[in-house]
Amino acid sequence: MTFDDQVEVTLPTGAKAKVHTGLLINGQFVKSKSGKKFPTVNPATGEVIVELYEAEKADIDDAVKAAKAAFKTWRHTDGAERGKLLLKFADLIEANHQTLAAVETLDQGKLLAGNIGHAFSTAAALRYFAGFADKIHGKTMMDTDKFFNFTRHEPYGVTAGIIPWNYPMDMWSWKVGPSVACGNVIIIKTSEKTPLSGLLLGALAKEAGFPDGVIQVVSGYGPSAGQAIVEHPEISKIAFTGSGRTGRRILETASKTNLKKVSLELGGKSPALVFDDADLDKAVGVLAGTFYYNNAQTCVASSRIYVQKGIADAFTQKFTAAAQAIKIGSPFENGVTQGPLVDDIQFNNVLKYIDAGKQEGKLLAGGNKVGNAGYFIEPTVFAGVPEKAKIMAEEIFGPVVCINTFETEDEVIERANNTTYGLAAGLFTKDLNRAIRVSSLLDAGTIWVNSWMDVHVNMPFGGYKESGQGRELGEYALNEWTQIKSVKINMA
């Protein structure tokens, strides 16, 4: 008897959607070996949406076995054919974007309009890497008549992606796209907080015609499913996006097991520098709009804003007004500009940071929870916060921003770089020379000038310092999913 893992759920709009609850292993949705389940919760209400089967070590073993078998054929599939499958997959995502967006909004709390955009950007990432599938090239070297030398960029084989809960669809495609384009097979572990859209993507990959075992999706917790993936001796490469603490554990475990290739995209405490000559209204609009997007549950959130003293009062007044104008409510409701935090853990952590901030700086706006149901917090603005304060030094991952002032360029660069993180930074100025000079001195993997959070698939993304290692997106991402073989042919 075939196992039907789909459950119909009712959306706040009254529409119905079917979600998967099983593990996608070897082309089929199956129950976990243990039969254990875990709940995923609607953050707008705190209510359970559905229970899903929880992957553990035995399930990861099954997924790896299927992946190994699939790789034997997949590695020899023409790059053009791999690209065609990715393109068909992207088309299916666009055709089903409304369902994907609605399910992710229900599960994660991001605004529905935002998730519609993320469904299309997910498809765009897959299309981008589809174009590289038949362009994985090495080099030839004829430095002597005695040897013909060339290099091959070969797949690792069985790979894995462990993705976070803040941008589930995008992070899924950032791992799957380059991995399978390069000829690898991949196991994706979704976050236990937001597993639903990842399973839907897995179903669409199956519909697109990917062979069984090439793309597999498992749901579960980090200490069980995630740890089993990291420890597995037959997984050769892992890409992880998440916290620095977990990233360190992954590196440590990889070093103690099979020294698998690891790429990490970790946290951030990104500084935004607003100079006197900046377009004030543009700076306020961009920074307020992007910071509070997704409730600031974004690794590149501009949580430290430094404003030059000549415009500091005007900027702070306008930014605070923009924060106070944000409408909080159901992410499915028209006119709402901020939904809930992802769950009760994140909700309570952010409230603790706000309490600490009230002791460290001046609260200008927000700072309170909203309503009695769900995980809503007001957009919060602090000013005059000491550089060593908890809310200035630590990643909050919630709608809490600090605005401080500065006088000179040298001073603000030093303060901006005085952090263990280095994921993103940016500046607002009309002076092109300053833009180039300052961007070269900021210690971060991505620098925005007169913009923020403009992440495009053709540009590499990743961090300096404790914000990670390796790059995603762009042609640079291919380096993370292939290994280089040197071949020397004796012609003497």
Reference 315, options 281, 292, 290; nearest CA is: 281
Q: Which amino acid is at 440?
A: S
Please give the C-alpha separations between residue 458 and each of 79, 136, 158, 266, 474, in angstroms, as whole numbers: 19, 16, 25, 20, 4
β pairing state of 158-162 and 185-189: parallel
Annotated catalytic residue, options 54, 104, 192, 265: 265
Calpha distance 457→177 (Å, rounded): 11
Helix/strand/coil percent split, the chain, to 5: 40, 25, 35
β pairing state of 37-42 and 28-30: unpaired
**Catalytic residue check, 409:** no
Contact 211, 241 (CB under 8 A): no
Calpha distance 301→396 (Å, rounded): 10
In the block, which residue shows the tokens 């430290």?
Answer: 304
Calpha distance 320→304 (Å, rounded): 14
Calpha distance 219→241 (Å, rounded): 16
Reference 115, options 95, 99, 92, 91; nearest CA is: 99
| Token reading at 77 | 């599939």
Contact 339, 111 (CB under 8 A): yes
Contact 204, 38 (CB under 8 A): no
User: What one-character-per-residue DSSP string does 343-410 give?
Assistant: SHHHHHHHHHHHHHHHHHSEEEE--SEESSSS-EE--EEEES--TTSHHHHS---SSEEEEEEES-HH
Reference 62, options 94, 95, 87, 27; nearest CA is: 27
Reference 69, options 104, 26, 35, 111; nearest CA is: 26
Instruction: Give the residue numbers annotated as catalytic, written as ranges.
Output: 265
